[in-house]
Amino acid sequence: MTFDDVCALALAWPGVERSTSYGTPALKVKGKLLTRLREDGETLVVLGVGLDEREMLIEAEPEVFHLTPHYQNSPIVLVHLAEADSRARAVEALLLRRWRTVAPKRVVKEFDLAKG
């Protein structure tokens, strides 16, 4: 999985746009951060992941999901993109959940109605 793959998924959702965050490529919704690439160019920062869920993800698949001390107290999990092909659906689900949190409620409702 690459950041381009992540972009292909997320840019299909209403309101998602390419941007930058901390000088790295990012995706935002109405100026709110959806996700970003870390400075190493290989790690995705996924926001909105609770501490218990994050612990479970890291324990189950440490080659895909991990953490650095910097993010220890934040609801964030890091994803090794090169190892995430087998977990692409899980990454997409985490990002879609974050999108639902930051996108305007009207847009989310319209999206859900269009999906049936």
Question: What digits encode the pLDDT tens for the residues 28-46?
Answer: 999 999 999 999 999 999 9
**Domains of the chain (ranges plus CATH)?**
3-107 (3.90.1150.30)
pLDDT of residue 116: 76
Q: Which pLDDT score, from 0 to 100, does residue 94 have?
A: 97
C-beta of residue 20 within 8 angstroms of C-beta of residue 33: no
- Please check the confidence at residue 49 and state whether its pLDDT lies above 90: yes
What share of residues in the chain are helix, strand, coil (percent, to 5)?
45, 25, 30
Q: Average the pLDDT over 94-104 and give the result.
A: 97
Angle at 36 between CA 22 and CA 48, to 5 degrees: 110
For position 115, what pLDDT does the model report? Answer: 84
Mean pLDDT of 94-102: 97
